[in-house]
């Protein structure tokens, strides 16, 4: 049972609004990630963090920003939502790197629709 939680699960919002997608994990993992997923498409890494006060952009350019002030919390923020931001956002964490064979634990996702 994965102990990683995302809120909200579903969000419908108007253009120009600021939104924050919350992600929390109770496993004490140093590594946390945000992926973006559109139907029938690959998961694309948009942000990752290897520890407190460490954040990096992923492979897919995103207008969102993230912060990592506490180990267990990795929120994603969009300052001004646009319809092009409509997607599913998946948060994940791990105790080590995939290069070490470590698995990612995923949350259930936040499905964002921007009208």
Footprint of another protein (CB under 8 A): 2, 4, 35, 40-45, 58-59, 90, 92, 97-101, 103-109
Shortest Cβ 45–another protein spacing (Å): 6
- Distance, in Å, from the CA atom of 37 to the CA atom of 84, rounded to the nearest integer, reads 13
Three-state DSSP at 50 gives strand
Shortest Cβ 17–another protein spacing (Å): 26
Shortest Cβ 34–another protein spacing (Å): 13
- In sequence order, the 6+-apart residues with CB closer than 8 A to the CB of 66 are 34, 47, 49, 55, 74, 75, 76, 77
Nearer to another protein, 81 or 89 (CB): 89
93 within 8 A of 102, measured Cβ to Cβ: no
Nearer to another protein, 30 or 108 (CB): 108
Nearer to another protein, 2 or 17 (CB): 2
Shortest Cβ 65–another protein spacing (Å): 19
End-to-end CA separation in angstroms for the chain: 34
């Amino acid at each position: 049972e994965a102990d990683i939680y995302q809120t909200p699960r579903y969000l419908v919002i108007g253009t120009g609004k600021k939104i924050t997608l919350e992600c929390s994990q109770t496993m004490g993992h140093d590594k946390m990630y945000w992926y973006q997923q559109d139907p029938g498409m690959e998961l694309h890494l948009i942000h990752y963090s290897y520890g407190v006060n460490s954040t990096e952009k992923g492979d897919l350019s995103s207008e969102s920003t993230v912060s990592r002030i506490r180990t267990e919390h990795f929120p994603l923020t969009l300052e001004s939502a646009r319809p092009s931001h409509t997607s599913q956002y998946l948060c994940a964490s791990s105790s080590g790197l995939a290069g070490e064979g470590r698995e990612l634990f995923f949350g259930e996702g936040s499905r964002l629709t921007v009208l």
